[in-house]
Structure 1
Amino acid sequence: MSLTRYGALLAKVLLLGLLLSALIWPDLSGIKGKASTARLIVYPLGGMILPLWWWAYGRTRSKLHRTFPWPADLLMTLPWLIDLIGNRLNLFDTVSWWDDAMHFILWGFLTAGVLLAFAPRDLSSAVTTFVALGFGTTAAVVWEVGEYVTFVRASPELQTAYTDTLGDLALGTLGALLAGLIVSRARRAPVT
């Protein structure tokens, strides 16, 4: 079993463990008052979307992969796990740069995973980058709308929400752009 497969499976186990602990001990989860119910629904779906797609469709008809795409799965699971860890350790509220770094890094991970899982390898670098921007920017907008609807509008964060949201959207888009550039370059590199 490859190291990437172990990493993806470990990330899923840790994600499910943190979600279960948030159900059992909501006051200790770090997500209380931060759309905890929505996170308890969306995060397991986010971590399982690729395995569910593979089980329902990809394993028999995928033109992209002959075997399960473990690197993509790991990259698509890490954003949910790292967000929960950051909330559990209260890093979003205590480390001034944490939220900005996470919007950049986690959108990059998610976008790279989606590209590896679903974008054909023969796309040009430009098209791969545009697909990354389209997915990453759309996902960032959906995330920010979700944050607003589920908890920002009724929290003290509402006072700074506009500026924070614009920054988050810009950082998520830049993370997606970087992911697109990295994936397109990696796909052009000769296999050794």
Structure 2
Amino acid sequence: MRWSRGAALPAGVLVVTVLLMVVGLTVGFESFNGKGFVARIVIYPVLMLAVPLAWWWRHRGRGVEPPWGAFALVMTPFLVDVLGNFLDLYDRIEAWDDLNHLVNWFLLLWGIGLLVFPTRESVARPGLTVLTVAGVGALLAVLWEVGEWYVFLKAGVESDGLYQDTIGDEVLGTAGAALAGLVVLRRRRRGAPVRVPGDPSSPTT
């Protein structure tokens, strides 16, 4: 995978996310307690790099410019989640968790949608495009909630109302993904590129 100025944005998102977790764990932030951040500091970077590495494996040797903008969209929800815990926004703002599930899934599936549907021609069937993006988002929302169930319920932390919270989070995540599907469809049908700020050579995807 070739490095370019466009890579600065996703790389910056990754670095800031890791630094926030390192600082929070080192200082011993109370807002990190019981949230599985010892595991997250390993899992989050792996998840953030999974999509770029998968893209690179598929396109290796083809000389194609990586879609840095889409990568940044996929990575940003992890930064938002860590920042929310770093600033203790989950406890200070009642609606923060719900807002996160809606917005983060929108950003995540916007990025994934641009990768799955890389051209105008790939969205020839609009309904299928939106349904695919929404469906992937729903699946990822379920997998995420399974992970939270393991961390919180198994550890005996935040178990009150966990089931109701899980259902709500899955609905919000799916709604965010559906919105992302509509955005992907609209941008691809207009042929609009996703450009990384400050990089005029940023690719279409």
Partner Cα distance (1:131, 1:184) in 2 = 11
Q: Alpha-carbon deviation of 1:190?
A: 4.5
| Counterpart for residue 172 of structure 1 | 173
Structure 2 counterparts to residues 1-192 of structure 1, below 5 A: 5-25=7-27, 27-28=28-29, 30-60=31-61, 66-121=64-119, 122-123=122-123, 124-191=125-192
Q: Which runs of 5+ in 2 are unaligned?
A: 194-205
Partner Cα distance (2:56, 2:184) in 1 = 25
Root-mean-square deviation (Å)? 2.2
Letter paired with 1:94:
R
Partner Cα distance (2:111, 2:117) in 1 = 10
Which of the pair is proportionally richer in helix? 1
What TM-score do you get using the length of structure 2 for normalisation? 0.82
Q: Alpha-carbon deviation of 1:164?
A: 0.9
Q: Alpha-carbon deviation of 1:180?
A: 0.3
Q: Deviations over 1:117-138 (max 9, x none)?
A: 2334313221111111111000
Letter paired with 1:77:
M
Q: Aligned pair in 2 of structure 1 residues 29, 19: CA closer, same or farther (>3 Å)?
A: farther
Partner Cα distance (1:138, 1:156) in 2 = 24
> How many residues get paired?
187
Q: Deviations over 1:144-182 (max 9, x none)?
A: 011011123434521211111111011000000000001
Cα pair 1:76 1:114 within 8 Å, conserved: yes
Partner Cα distance (1:30, 1:46) in 2 = 22
Alignment identity in percent?
Answer: 36
Q: Aligned pair in 2 of structure 1 residues 82, 44: CA closer, same or farther (>3 Å)?
A: same
Letter paired with 1:90:
D
Q: Which runs of 5+ in 1 are unaligned?
A: none
Letter paired with 2:145:
E
Q: Aligned pair in 2 of structure 1 residues 82, 29: CA closer, same or farther (>3 Å)?
A: farther
What TM-score do you get using the length of structure 1 for normalisation? 0.87
Q: Which runs of at least 4 in structure 1 moved beyond 4 Å after TM superposition?
A: none
Partner Cα distance (1:148, 1:52) in 2 = 28
